[in-house]
Amino acid sequence: MKQIIFQNKKIFYRAEGKGKAVILLHGFAENNNIWKYQFKKLKEKFFVIAPDLPGSGKSEMLEGKITIEDYADVVKTIADAELNNKNENQFTLIGHSMGGYITLAFAEKYPQQLRAFGLFHSSAYADDDAKKEARKKGIEFIKNNGVETFIKTATPNLFSSKTKNEKTNLINDLINLSKDFPPEPLIQYYTAMMQRPDRTSVLKSFTKPILFIIGKDDNSVPLQTSLQQCHLPSISHIHILQNSGHEGMWEEKKKATNYLLHFLLNP
């Protein structure tokens, strides 16, 4: 893996392939391995970058009061480091869940650097009171019970009923990916997510293509919420994974990867 230094912290990322650049951002309590199927396929046609966001995987946690915008600046630092070497200045940014929040923040701050962007099970809406309360309860649960118990309790709810019945190995794989997180970055992520603003204006103002990949049985970003935001951009590519919850890149990996490839090849 490669690394950059951001705010005196080491941030690690994978970068492989050739062609136009694509950056894949993982979500809460994940690392770049959430994209392992997509990364393998995309690098055949694109130059693919998949970071461990600060505090995830091998990357060090940032200090102080950190915002979603700070994570967007981490992405910019990685992009600049890689693309300046290739005399490029534009790329496509794809974000899963919390990674989608970071994608929207990046699109708001640095729209000129984006060729297109995509939201994988994510939302431009700010947290409502109920969502904030759920995140606060999550923080308290982590503090009182530890990360491993939190992950084992929360992870099954990220998957569709079909996955839970037929592909229990995927749930176990995600638990194993996430269970060794220290509590501090998860609390930092929750706090940053609660404080982020509504960014539906970004969907309205961005003039290039935007991809929406939606899980029909997503409990974290409900179908109706996703559909409400899809009509806001001038150019939307919309795909609904009929047998997925919040983890479509694993639950329906072939379909999800093909949707992503089609978007990247035909924006």
In order of their start, the domains of the chain are: 2-127+197-265 (3.40.50.1820)
Instruction: Give pLDDT, residue 124.
Output: 98
φ and ψ of 123, to 5 deg: -145, 145
pLDDT digits (tens, 9 = 90+) for 151-162: 999 999 999 999
CB neighbour list of residue 106: distance below 8 Å, 6 or more residues apart: 72, 75, 76, 93, 113, 114, 117
| pTM above threshold 0.75 | yes
pLDDT digits (tens, 9 = 90+) for 168-198: 999 999 999 999 999 999 999 999 999 999 9
Instruction: Give pLDDT, residue 88.
Output: 79
Q: Report the SS3 class of residue 124.
A: coil
Percentages of the chain per state (helix, strand, coil), in multiples of 5: 50, 20, 30
Instruction: Give pLDDT, residue 53.
Output: 98
DSSP string, 161-184: HHHHHH-HHHHHHHHHHHTT--HH
Instruction: Give pLDDT, residue 267.
Output: 66
Instruction: Give pLDDT, residue 85.
Output: 73
Distance CA 141, CA 135 (A): 10
pLDDT digits (tens, 9 = 90+) for 253-263: 999 999 999 99
pLDDT digits (tens, 9 = 90+) for 29-46: 999 999 999 999 999 999
pLDDT digits (tens, 9 = 90+) for 194-231: 999 999 999 999 999 999 999 999 999 999 999 999 99
Instruction: Give pLDDT, residue 266.
Output: 85
Tell me: pLDDT of 19 over 90: yes
Mean pLDDT, the chain, as a whole number? 96
